[in-house]
Chain A
């Protein structure tokens, strides 16, 4: 899968980095200083790199835990997001990462313990209160879990901290690391869905909806909290039919009463990211249609968005109580891609 790996020189001998390297014995390993030397230069083309992303093994030195934007969250008072990886194995055409990063290479931050130390500091700051940590903002939480060992490193951490809540946001079916353990009530696996027709057109490499539903059901059956994310909602000529069929399929297979939460949010993207992506894909119909602008964010025209959200909200509320339903209107990134 990966035949070129960049490793920060400071990670020479690092156990986790070495463990990842052993998984790719044929890959060329190139030593770099800080990962930004490889990841950030101008003149890189995200679309070309997406053909064959390299892996960058790095340490995250600062800004590991960031406050979640207002309007993002699932009911908690203290919400933070973090990224143990940058970029995603999937290729979703609506994904903001294409417009945010210059490089499509995967960056894996291997200093998991530093992330955990920061989490402990935040837990201490919010003494006695629940604190939510959202992963899967700048990557898919689980898609490369077999390589990163993220779940194996973080599940024991959360097992010992019942006040700390972790959301794993994913489009993958990589749930084996969770199924190997006893369920944790404070670790929520949130599966993202768009209708089959949209997924086939715009989500390259993503497992089928049926497979994802199956993975979610297995987690539920084993006692793990599962959540659903219909975010972003993508408009289409048969929007109502496509989403109605999706909701029918999902709620028929899962125990709606046991779902942790369901959230949705219409497609939205910071305008500069949108412009970058539209330049990368001038032949893409998604970027040919007209959008509106709201506070520096590219969105559907207000009446379109309202109709989309209202339709889906009404359908979803038939299956779950209002307290478990969240409309995510965070104006910045569309997470969970």
Chain B
């Protein structure tokens, strides 16, 4: 699952069109779109809006996601139209820093991104400026591993191209022109996210056994965990488990029997 977040509708439009996203939840504080394995939310401008949008969108999703903030930014050195992956995010207000871990190869530009509370026309060398990342990043890290949270900025303005020249069409055009980069990064993050979903849903055997007795939520986790371990230790774990559980009545008894079976299987594996 991928969660895309943009500040402006014009930043979102090329993504919506390319990914064929459909608007969902008509009456909501944010415009939310959905496609196959992709959500997109338009947060509005500013770090607080971005953080709020992350929380709102997570509430709409039923599975863990990778999070990608796509938007425009100013930069002193990079040419307008270049894409830059943030390797450091600084909140200009407060000075706090974050460092999105990068666990994939990246041949494009990367650099420091400063989130400012107001648009600014002064550009320090080597830094990009936006108004959302410092809200988006820590909020998204509440819901996903930091490796799955990234900010990709398309340079829209700089000392020679003031932001006063920007309009909705130009912003959409900038994002559209970098769609290949966006999709490439999105694909990487989706793969990582798919890899990250380690918790097995439990499977048919879990469903069957969990109906045999009344399990508390904690016991359900224990059952799932013990069945997963048994499947790793013995061949034909389903038959093995059913044999071990024959006649077991209560949840506690089922869990004890499985633990005993795991102990025996462990002894079979090794020296002792």
Whether chains A and B associate is: yes
Judge whether B270 and A235 touch: CB under 8 Å. Answer: yes
Check: B76 CB closer than 8 A to any chain A CB: no
Check: A180 CB closer than 8 A to any chain B CB: no
Which residue in B98, B145, B271 is a CB contact (below 8 Å) of A45? B145
Judge whether A308 and B101 touch: CB under 8 Å. Answer: no
B126-169: contact bitstring with A at CB < 8 Å (1 yes, 0 no)?
00000000000000011011111000000000000000000000
Question: Which residues of the other chain, B, contact A38 by a CB distance below 8 angstroms?
Answer: 99
Q: How large is the interface on B (under 10, 10 to 19, 20 to 34, 35 or more residues)?
A: 35 or more
CA distance A45 to B197 in the complex (A): 12
CA distance A138 to B144 in the complex (A): 27
CA distance A3 to B102 in the complex (A): 10
Check: B178 CB closer than 8 A to any chain A CB: no
Judge whether B272 and A54 touch: CB under 8 Å. Answer: no
Question: Which residues of the other chain, A, contact B88 by a CB distance below 8 angstroms?
Answer: 30-32
A75-106: contact bitstring with B at CB < 8 Å (1 yes, 0 no)?
00000000000000000000000000001010
Which residue in chain B gives the minimum CB-CB distance to A48?
A: B147
Question: Which residues of the other chain, B, contact A311 by a CB distance below 8 angstroms?
Answer: 271
Shortest CB–CB separation between residue B89 and chain A, in angstroms? 11
Check: A285 CB closer than 8 A to any chain B CB: yes
Judge whether A282 and B199 touch: CB under 8 Å. Answer: yes
Judge whether A45 and B110 touch: CB under 8 Å. Answer: no
Which residue in chain A gives the minimum CB-CB distance to B87?
A: A30
**Given A28-B110, A43-B144, A282-B228, A51 contacting B103 (CB threshold 8 A):** yes
**Given A3-B105, A288-B228, A307 contacting B147 (CB threshold 8 A):** no
Check: A289 CB closer than 8 A to any chain B CB: yes
Check: A304 CB closer than 8 A to any chain B CB: yes
Which residue in chain A gives the minimum CB-CB distance to B271?
A: A239
**Given A43-B144, A54-B101, A236 contacting B87 (CB threshold 8 A):** no
Which residue in chain A gives the minimum CB-CB distance to B102?
A: A4
CA distance A304 to B266 in the complex (A): 11
Could you tell me which A residues sit within 8 Å of B by CB distance?
A: 3-4, 6, 28, 30-33, 37-38, 41-45, 48-49, 51-52, 54, 103, 105, 235-237, 239-240, 279-280, 282-285, 287-290, 300-301, 303-305, 307-308, 311
Closest 8 CB pairs of A and B: A304-B272, A235-B270, A288-B232, A289-B266, A288-B229, A45-B145, A239-B271, A290-B266
